[in-house]
Amino acid sequence: MPRSILAVTILAITFSATARAQSTRTAAASSQDLQAKLAYCKTCHGVSGQGYHGAFPIPRLAGQQPEYIENQLKAFIDRRRANRFMYSVAHVLTPEMLSVLAAHFQGLNPKPVGGAPKDLIPAGKKIYEEGVPDAGVPPCASCHGPEAKGNGPFPRLAGQLHDYILKKLVNWTQERGLDPANPDTSAIMEPIAHGLTEQQIAAVAAYLNYLE
């Protein structure tokens, strides 16, 4: 083999090996980065994304719609949704990491934490399926699905912590919709949250709390 061809061949092999090594390192670094982020998420949201009851209830992320998770993380980053803890978490995430995290949580499916008052379930089921026509509140199922598993930008509610749902709906405008000129899909919930009484919200939250 001529010396020039041999040199080109050696260079090609060298570059190919280097590229493979760099690709392997990149993949490993990405995996390590993901695991580091997940370890941080587990601190509050639980080892399987099941949520946590506490002085400040932490929501269930397991089984959540990826598009919804990404939308809300972006809302935290843009300060369209207020939460000082989540802003600190979200604003350092790359777009790629947002997508990877959202996909990871969608694949989790632990049993609901439970704990809601069971006597409220029948009333909550009725509101979820039929709405409150007198208050102009449509059935929750019309957007979140008959099994409350969500669809695209509409979040999964099945298995969500009841105290988290109650707190968020009762205090809707204190956290969300902070940039009316740049709303996300959740903006359609504002009139619904305002149209329900706290007792009705508690009933819906109790019903959703036990759905799997």
pLDDT in tens, 150-164: 999 999 999 999 999
The domain segmentation of the chain, as residue ranges, is 46-209
CA angle 95, 37, 32 (to 5 degrees): 95
DSSP assigned state of 112? P
Report the percentage of the chain scoring pLDDT > 70: 86
Structure tokens at 98: 């947002």
DSSP 189: G
Note the pLDDT tens digit of each residue in 132-183.
999 999 999 999 999 999 999 999 999 999 999 999 999 999 999 899 899 8
Would you tell me the crossing angle of helices 3-45 and 95-106 to the nearest 10 degrees? 60
The pTM score is 0.83
Domain 46-209 has CATH 1.20.1560.10: no
